[in-house]
Structure 1
Amino acid sequence: MAISLEPLHTAPRLLLRAELAPIAGTRFQPTGFPDLGAAEYDHPTEPYRMLLVESPQSMANRLESVCWDEAAEDWRPPLRGLPRVDVYDQHGGFLTNSVLEAHRLNSPYILEGKDTTVMQLLKRELGLLGESLPVDVRKLARTVFKYDPNSVLHGLFLAKKELAGGRLRLSRLLSSFIEAEDARVAPNGGVKNDRVDPTGPTNQGFGNVPFHRDEYVARRIHAYFVLDLALLRSYGLGATAETFLTLFALYKIQHFLIEGLRLRTACDFEVKQVEVIRPSGFELPTADEIDRELPGLIDRLRAEGLLAAENLRVRYEVKS
Structure 2
Amino acid sequence: MPLDFSALETTPRLLVEVPLRPIQGTRFQPTGFPNLGAAVYSHPDGDGQVVLVESAQSMANRLEAVCWDEPADDWVPPLKGLPVVKVLDKDGKPLTNSLLEAHRLNSPYILEGKDTTVLDMLKERLASMEEGRVDLRELARVLLEFDANALLHGVFLAKKDLAGGRLRLPRALSAFIEAGDAKVAASGGVKNDAVNPSGDANRGFGNVPFARDEYTSPAITAFFNLDLRQIRAFGLGREVGDLLIALALFKVRRFLAEGLRLRTACDLEPAGEPKVSRPQGYVLPSLNDLEAALPGLIEAVGAKGLFGADRVLTVTYRKK
Query: Is the structural similarity TM-score above 0.5?
Result: yes
Matched residue, 1:230: 229
Per mean C-alpha deviation after superposition, the further-off stretch among 278-287 and 172-181 is 278-287
Contact 2:153 2:171 in 1 (8 A): yes
CA distance in structure 2 between the partners assigned to 1:317 and 1:225 by the alignment:
38
How far residue 150 of structure 1 moved from its aligned partner, in angstroms, is 0.6
Matched residue, 1:119: 119
CA distance in structure 1 between the partners assigned to 2:301 and 2:63 by the alignment:
23
Are 2:159 and 1:164 aligned?
Answer: no
Matched residue, 1:308: 308
* 1:245-284 paired onto structure 2 within 5 Å: 245-273=244-272, 274-284=274-284
The residue identity in structure 1 corresponding to 2:218 is R
Q: Deviations over 1:292-320 (max 9, x none)?
A: 0001111111111011242112121159x
The alignment partner of 1:215 has SS state of strand
Matched residue, 2:69: 69
Contact 2:39 2:51 in 1 (8 A): yes
The residue identity in structure 2 corresponding to 1:243 is D
TM score, norm. by length of structure 2: 0.97
The residue identity in structure 2 corresponding to 1:297 is L
Contact 1:128 1:163 in 2 (8 A): no
Are 2:13 and 1:4 aligned?
Answer: no
Runs (4+) of structure 1 moved beyond 4 Å? none
The residue identity in structure 2 corresponding to 1:293 is A
The residue identity in structure 2 corresponding to 1:225 is F
The alignment partner of 1:236 has SS state of coil
Matched residue, 1:20: 20
Matched residue, 1:298: 298
CA distance in structure 1 between the partners assigned to 2:215 and 2:132 by the alignment:
51
CA distance in structure 2 between the partners assigned to 1:126 and 1:143 by the alignment:
8
Matched residue, 1:287: 287
The residue identity in structure 1 corresponding to 2:13 is R
Percent identity (aligned): 58
Count of residue pairs brought into register by the alignment = 318
Are 2:97 and 1:81 aligned?
Answer: no
How far residue 89 of structure 1 moved from its aligned partner, in angstroms, is 2.5
CA distance in structure 2 between the partners assigned to 1:305 and 1:49 by the alignment:
51
Contact 2:127 2:163 in 1 (8 A): no
Contact 1:90 1:318 in 2 (8 A): no
The residue identity in structure 2 corresponding to 1:18 is V
Matched residue, 1:189: 188
TM score, norm. by length of structure 1: 0.97
Per mean C-alpha deviation after superposition, the further-off stretch among 114-123 and 252-261 is 114-123
CA distance in structure 1 between the partners assigned to 2:114 and 2:228 by the alignment:
38
CA distance in structure 2 between the partners assigned to 1:189 and 1:33 by the alignment:
19
Contact 1:17 1:225 in 2 (8 A): yes
